[in-house]
Amino acid sequence: MRTNSRLNWMALAGFFSALVALPFAFAAERQPASPGMAAMTVTAVGKKDAAPAAVNKDDIQLTVGKERKQIASWERAGKLDLAILIDDSLDPSVAGQWNDVRAFIAAQPDTTSIAVGYAYNSTVYVAQDFTSDHALAAKALRIPRGYYSGGSSPYLSVIDWLKRWPESGNRGSLLLISSGIDYFRGGFGPVYPDVDTAVSQAQKANVNLWNIYYPGSGHFARSMFLVDKGQLNLSKMTLETGGESYYLGFAAPVSFKPYLDELQKHLSNQYLLSFSGDTAKKGKYVTARLKTELPDVELLYANQAYVQPSQ
């Protein structure tokens, strides 16, 4: 079952007219992208839930701004750094979904490193750092603290993890399981204050953000206004980073399995694209657009790419 986050963002446009995180100990050495180059992870999606056809470099047209650009490289993505971030303010009943999440973790190929963390006090408690031992990652799942971890922002937690993301050269994905409600810096505006920062950090690190909605704990989390606002902000964040957001109304999903099955299909049909940006001493974000004339193939990708400094 699939929710189209592009349609969700169209709806959004109309609507809008005290723990310290554990330090990371990454095994992979940091390997920044080449100077003056930009990298994007592109997901090929088949129409009507069909498996997408293979996409070759000649099948893609790239436009940056208003200029047609040459694609430097286009290759089927291999290694993946996959993070699962669980909002600790969720209703504890979400733990009833952990068997599906464990099955999803176990189904990942050996080329995928998995980490599990908890969004708590607007930061990340890393229960299991990135590891290729998928059984070890699955053991890090626990019952969320629920109401007692209120006063936190899942978006600040996303930012916290992205700032410490390994620059391994691999594609990256972060799955956030959250209600999307910002209990810390919510404010009265339509967009939470840290959503755009989370988007730009993910684009800079070339990490796709995905979300599965689940209700928060406590009476405050049942507000229809706040739930709607949370879901729309999650849709904005995932759409602009090349991912998707999954939910059916305001209720808790009966099962995560349809969402995780679709996510697995997406992760299995990704490509790494790179292109040369304009020469600049400082890094910059550019608006990139991809087009393919392949029938029954849709491309998911971030709406901006980060060009590394030329020096």
Q: What is the mean pLDDT of each run of 10 residues along the chain (311 residues)?
A: 43 38 35 79 90 93 93 93 96 96 97 96 95 98 80 94 90 97 85 96 97 89 88 97 94 95 96 85 91 93 93 71
One-letter amino acid at 145 equals R
Q: Which one, of 273, 259, 242, lies nearest residue 100 by Cα?
A: 259
Q: Which one, of 195, 179, 201, 176, lies nearest residue 116 by Cα?
A: 176
Query: What pLDDT was estimated at residue 149?
Result: 59
Query: What pLDDT was estimated at residue 217?
Result: 87
How many C-beta atoms lie closer than 10 Å to residue 286's C-beta? 16
At residue 267, φ and ψ (nearest 5 deg) are -65, -25
Based on the number of CB atoms within 10 Å of its own CB, is 265 exposed (0-12), middle (13-18) or buried (19 or more)?
middle
Query: What pLDDT was estimated at residue 130?
Result: 97
pTM of the complete model? 0.87
Report d(CA 252, CA 42) in Å as an integer: 30
Q: Which one, of 270, 198, 285, 287, lies nearest residue 234 by Cα?
A: 198
Report d(CA 135, CA 227) in Å as an integer: 33
- Distance from first CA to last CA of the chain, Å, rounded? 46
Q: Which one, of 73, 82, 40, 44, lies nearest residue 204 by Cα?
A: 40
130 CB-near residues (< 8 Å, 6+ apart): 26, 27, 28, 81, 83, 113, 114, 115, 166
